[in-house]
Amino acid sequence: MPTVTICGLGPGGLGQTTDETRQAIADHAAEASFVRTRRHPTASLMAHARSFDDLYDQGGNLTDVYNQIAAAVRAATEENGAALYAVPGSPLILERAVRHLRTESELQVRLLPAVSFLDAAWAQLRIDPIEEAVRLVDGHTFQQDAAGQTGPLLVAHVHAKWVLSDVKLALDAGPEQRAVFLQRLGTPQQAITEVGWPDLDQAVEPDHLTSLYIPELAEPVAKELVGSVELMRRLRQDCPWDAEQTHASLGPYLLEETYEVLEAIGEVEAGDPDGYEHLEEELGDLWVQILFHSQLAGEAGQFTVADVARTSHSKLVGRHPHVFGTEKAADAAEVVSNWEARKLVEKSRASVMDGIPAALPALAYAEKVLKKADRTGAPIDTKSLMANLEAGIGPAATVLEVGELLISAVALARKCGVDAEAALRAAAAGAEKRFRAMEGSGRFDQWILG
C-alpha cells in the first residue's frame, strides 16, 4: 500500500525538531516531498521539497486550500508509492490536510509526533494546561468554538488582522479584558505582548507564528444567545402563562410573528429609515418562538435548541457541496437544481411536489407548485393562461373556474418575474387607499379596485 510519512518541524528553532523527523527527511530526500509552508524557521530543512505557499497566496477559501494540499500529497504518494509531508509544529495539532489524509483508506499513513507550539506556549506562560483547564480554539472559528466559554483559552491561527478583528467582534468587552500575544516562540524574534481587548487587532502585527492567550473571559462569547436560552427556561419555570403553553397553543403566535417579520422586510425594501430597527425587533420575536418550541421539546426529552442549530448546520453543509465539497455550480439556478435533486434522494421523495406544506395560504401554495414545476423545465401553456384571463368569469362561475382563473394569474406573474403575493398585497393596499379617499370625499360611487 502507498505510504505517506507525515512529520512535524517543531514550533520554532531548529533545536526543537526531533531526530526522528530529521531522519525521515534524510530518508526521503530522493522521493516526493512536500512542506506545507516555507514561512517557518525550520522549513529550511525541507529545501528540496515543494511548498504550498502558492495556494495560500491565491487568497482562496482555506477549506479548499487544505483539500488541494491533501489531494496533491495523495496523488504523489499513489504515483510514487511513498511520499513525505512536513508541517510546522506537530502534525496532530490543527492540521486539516493531515486530517483528510488520515481518513484515506487507500493510503498507509506513518505519523511522526513532534513538539508543537503548545509546549512552547505553556513554558512561556508558566502554566500547567491541565490544572488551568485551558481550552484550545481556532481563531478562524472563534465565535463558534468559544461560545459559552469563560476561559482560559489559547487561540491558534491568528495569523492576520482580519482574524483578530473577527475574534474581537465576537466579544463586546472593554480594556479590562486582557489578552496575551505569543509570537515566534522558540526563536530569537520571540515576543510576548499583553493588550486590552479594544486594541486586539491594532496592537501587534500578526504572522504565521502568532497565537493568543486569554487568561479569563470577562463574559462568555455569544452570551446573548446563551442568556436567551436560560431566560426561556426561567419563564417556563416561573411564569404561569408560559408554563401552560403547548406546541399547538403557540402556533398562532408563530404565524403572526412570521408575518410581522415579512412586514418589516417590506419596510427595509421600501427604504424606510426605521426598517432595519423594526426588522431586528421582529426577528427577536420570531427567535422567541424558536426558543419556546425547542424548550418544550427539551422538556419532552426530544431535542434542544442546540440540536436545532446542529441539525441546521449539518443540513446547510450537506446541501452546499459546491462550497464545502468538490461539486461545482456555475450559477444560482444550478445551485437550486442540485438542491432539489439532493432533497429527492435524502427524503426518498417520488415527486418534486412532495414536501409542499398543505397548510400554506392558497396563493403561496399556488406559487410553490408552479415554482417546483418550473425547476423541472416543464413548459407553461401561456396561450391557455391568456385565454382564461380574457374570458373572465360569469355570475354563475364555479369554485373550480375561479380557482383556474387565479392560478392562471399566478402563473403569468411568475412568467413576468413578479411575486404574486407582493403584487396582490400592493394592489389591495392601493384599493384600500382609494377607498379611504372616497370615504373622505363622501362619495361612494367611485371605488376602483385597480
Residue 331 has pLDDT above 70, yes or no: yes
Question: Is pLDDT above 70 for 438?
Answer: no
How many Å apart are CA 157 and CA 138, to the nearest integer?
A: 6
DSSP 8-state code for residue 45: G
Let me know if 33 is exposed, middle or buried by CB neighbors in 10 A (0-12, 13-18, 19+).
buried
Judged by average pLDDT, the poorest of 40-44, 188-192, 377-381 is 377-381
Residue percentage of the chain with pLDDT more than 70: 85
Which whole number is the average pLDDT over 439-448? 57
Residue % of the chain over a pLDDT of 90: 41
pLDDT for 63 equals 82
- 105-119, 184-198, 370-384: which has the minimum mean pLDDT? 370-384
Inter-CA distances, 102 with 36, 97, 99, 116, Å = 16, 9, 5, 19
pLDDT of residue 359: 67
pLDDT of residue 333: 78
Mean pLDDT over all residues of the chain? 84
What pLDDT is recorded for position 29?
A: 81
- Helix-then-strand count for the chain, H and E: 19, 10
More confident residue, 255 or 356: 255
252 or 196: which carries more pLDDT confidence?
196
Query: How many whole angstroms separate alpha carbon 263 and alpha carbon 272?
Result: 12
368: left (phi over 0), alpha (psi -120 to 50) or beta: alpha
pLDDT bracket for residue 144 (50, 70, 90): confident
Question: Selecting from 3.40.50.300, 3.40.1010.10, 3.50.40.10, 1.10.540.10, what CATH number does the domain 3-115 have?
Answer: 3.40.1010.10
Instruction: Pick the closest to residue 221 from 151, 325, 140, 163 (CA basis).
Output: 151
The model's confidence at residue 46, banded by pLDDT at 50, 70 and 90, is very high
The answer, as to whether pTM is greater than 0.85, is: no
Segments making up each domain of the chain, as ranges: 3-115, 120-214, 223-324
Query: What confidence tens digit (pLDDT) does each residue in 265-284 have?
Result: 989 999 999 999 999 999 99
Q: Does domain 120-214 have CATH number 3.40.1280.10?
A: no
223-324 topology per CATH: Helix Hairpins (1.10.287)
